[in-house]
A and B are shown apart, each in its own frame.
Chain A
Amino acid sequence: MNTVDEHTEHGHHAHGAEEPHIPKDSYFIKVALWLALLTALETSTYWIHLGGFATPALLIMMTIKFFMIIMIFMHLKFDNKLFSLMFYIGLGLAIFVYCVALSTFQFFAS
């Protein structure tokens, strides 16, 4: 059955869990500026050669951006932990199985 919109009438069980504290616009703009800065840094590696550091540095920046977006823009940080759990199971499994599969091709050896 459809359950979604009941919290206005039956707030006693829905409120709190359903309405997490969501920050103001200005906060998101700040986050976006950080993201933009990171992207600029990432892109700069195209011109500034970091040699062996490039790959780890890029991976770290990618990870930071990734989590900033899902935690803040997608509200995982503020929302019910169940959402995080569902998503992280998928993400974790994906990373695990594909890394193992690639390693059987000696992908990480080179």
Chain B
Amino acid sequence: MALIASPTPTQSLGVFRRPVAATGWRSWVFTVDHKKIGIMYGVVAMFFFLVGGCEALLIRLQLAAPDNTVLSAGLYNEMFTMHATTMVFLFVMPMAAAFANYFLPLQVGARDVAFPRLNALSFWLFLFGGVFLNTSWFLGGAADGGWFMYSPNSSRLFSPSHGIDFWVLGLQIIGIASLVSSINLIVTVLNMRAPGMKLMNMPVFTWMVLVVQFLLLFALPVITVALFLLSFQRNFGAAFFDVDKGADPLLWQHLFWIFGHPEVYIIILPSFGIISEVLPTFARKPLFGYKFVVFSGAAIGFVGWGVWAHHMFASGLGPVSVAVFSVATMLIAIPTGVKICNWTLTLWGGKLWFSTAMMFAIGVIVLFTIGGLSGVTHAVAPADTQQTDTYHIVGHFHYVIVGGAVMGLFAGFYYWWPKVFGKLLNERLGKWNFWLMFFGVNLTFAPMHILGMQGQPRRMVVWPEKLTGEGFFNLQFWNQIATVGSFLIASGVFMFLVNVVVTAKKAEKAPLDPWDARTLEWMTASPPKEHNFDTIPTVHSLDEFFHRKYEEVDTDKGPRLVKVRSAEEVLAAEEAKADAHIHLPSPSYWPIVLAFGLPVIAYGVIYNLLLSVVGAAILLLGIFGWVLEPSVAEDSDYDPPTGESETKELSSVG
């Protein structure tokens, strides 16, 4: 407790000075700026996308020929487990977090998230958790139980390597990261909107992210319970999934899928949000049926809680449960259909500009519809007993995930790149990127629907020649098409990487408002200043920015919508009345210190509990430093303060 007696508030633990660097690596590592954190999220997630993608390519290579030997059986099992885990938890979710972090405060007209230090903590936890998870490759093999890790196959008896321990503990760490950031973002959206921004004035992206954060908030504890049970079983001998002692393996399935189904909407809704921004912008008209889109998003969020057992139609639930869940699952097609219809009607009557972002967004409508419709065919429970655990399912979920979520994220890259980096991505390369991915996705995943219905189960290291059937269009043919397709996707992704490099090298700056956009985040400099807005805008309507640029003007042909102000003019007007004394949250050591404690504890659980004690000590140090550190240090204010009252410590948690 001696630590508490720290002399001045700008020092932490009375020893270290607060980090204040504004440039160099320190300005990133200790930052609490939501924009920097957003970028870091994006970079790391992109890296994991390449990792997960390479794993996918290995899978496709192995399946390109019958009885192939690119991967051994054990390695193959690790490969698809880690492919799925990496893609879902280390790519799609964090990439959505990247967009959310960067744009949520901007879209609601705030200067940062509600709890900036917690935000940094989330990022570091995610990074350390992801690295921890992947070190298993070098420490005796990765997890090999499939991404839903059904018990009892996941118990120590059947999977003796440490792979699953890494998986459980890694997901636990990543889960804490997401839970913390979900609370953070919900508070940000509910409490920190600019004056005048009613809930029904919020951009759809903000809305969808809000729904996602609620899903995370309530779904993560469920998988946390499941993971605790599993790790207590594996590491401390508890009996939870020990069938000999009377355990019921279906308990795990329920816990996993109560989380797992909301999870799939966690994956898709951010992209729904992104394309709901992109489509109106490039159609030059507001989103059709804004309210319907918002409410259907919320409805998906709610109904998504009542359908999880559709992953268990063959598990032996009994006919009553199966029937109930089958009907509930079909219900969810209704709100999703509302979205598809409204996007299409947004295009209708518009003035369509086919930028790369727009093409990705339209691609999402088309590809997601295919995946969604095959989802409905699974919802028909008797049919699903034929389809489940075959490539038909693999086809379904890659259409919705790659065709829906991933393409949506790419739409976001092209749309928001000029905002984040001040330069436009090359449209020509962008078109290559889009078409390669679009054809690639169809070539890879459409054949899987056929393969599945023709009887090829998933998670099989080999498929035998004698079961390929006859004729030209046999299973071998479709498997090879799928493999070719996956390399098309990879070359599409490669185009994107090239594009990033090319764009980074070119000198030309992007115009302030390249797309003639509609929402608040465009009412900032590109890239935005550290404090986002010179003055917090007052919001009067949905598409605030658009309405500041355009006005109804009487012309000789009657009233017409005319651009009366350029983005530069709008911005200049805001700048003219800039706020003074903007106090930004200051950088801090503690998020990264605290986050570092957790993987240490986790290694300890696997190898030696003594190490866990060290980790716990680091954690405690982090917490103490954190609690005793004021969240605003005096010398890092944007505009040095004049009066005591304005610099005083405001929050003990953030």
Contacts and interface: CB of A to CB of B under 8 A. Distances in A.
Interface in A79-110: 82, 89-90, 93-94, 96-97, 100-101, 103-105
B192 A3 contact: yes
A21 to B, nearest CB: 22
A89 B654 CA distance: 24
A104 B191 contact: no
A104 B318 contact: yes
B305 A93 contact: yes
Nearest to A104: B321
Given A1-B583, A2-B631, A3-B191, A104 B254 contact: yes
B110 interface: yes
A29 interface: no
The DSSP consensus for interface residues of chain A is helix
A100 B217 CA distance: 20
Contact of A2 (B250, B258, B306, B654): B654
A46 B271 CA distance: 55
A94 B219 CA distance: 10
A13 to B, nearest CB: 10
Contacts of A2: 585, 631-632, 650-651, 654
A25 interface: no
Interface string B166-192: 000000000000000000000000111
Contacts of A89: 214, 218
A6 to B, nearest CB: 8
B305 A1 contact: no
B642 interface: no
Contact of A82 (B190, B214, B584, B650): B190
Contacts of B648: 5
A48 interface: no
A50 interface: no
B629 interface: no
A5 B305 contact: no
A9 B254 contact: no
A4 interface: yes
Nearest to A9: B645
A82 B187 CA distance: 11
Contacts of A82: 190
Contacts of A1: 110-112, 114, 116, 192, 583-585
Range of interface residues on B (Cβ < 8 Å): 35 or more
Nearest to B219: A93
Interface residues of A, number: 19
Interface in B587-632: 631-632
A89 B210 CA distance: 14
Contacts of B584: 1
Nearest to B328: A100
A97 B305 contact: yes
B427 interface: no
Interface in B110-163: 110-112, 114, 116
B91 to A, nearest CB: 27
B247 to A, nearest CB: 12
B248 interface: yes
B59 interface: no
Given A4-B651, A101-B254, 17 more contacts: A1-B114, A1-B116, A1-B584, A1-B585, A2-B631, A2-B650, A2-B654, A5-B648, A82-B190, A90-B218, A94-B218, A97-B258, A97-B305, A97-B306, A100-B306, A104-B309, A104-B321
Interface of A: 1-6, 9, 82, 89-90, 93-94, 96-97, 100-101, 103-105
16 contacts: A1-B110, A1-B111, A2-B632, A2-B651, A3-B191, A5-B648, A9-B645, A90-B217, A93-B218, A96-B306, A97-B222, A101-B254, A104-B250, A104-B309, A104-B321, A105-B248
Enumerate the 5 nearest inter-chain pairs by beta-carbon distance, A residue then B residue, closest first. Answer: A2-B650, A2-B651, A101-B254, A104-B321, A1-B111
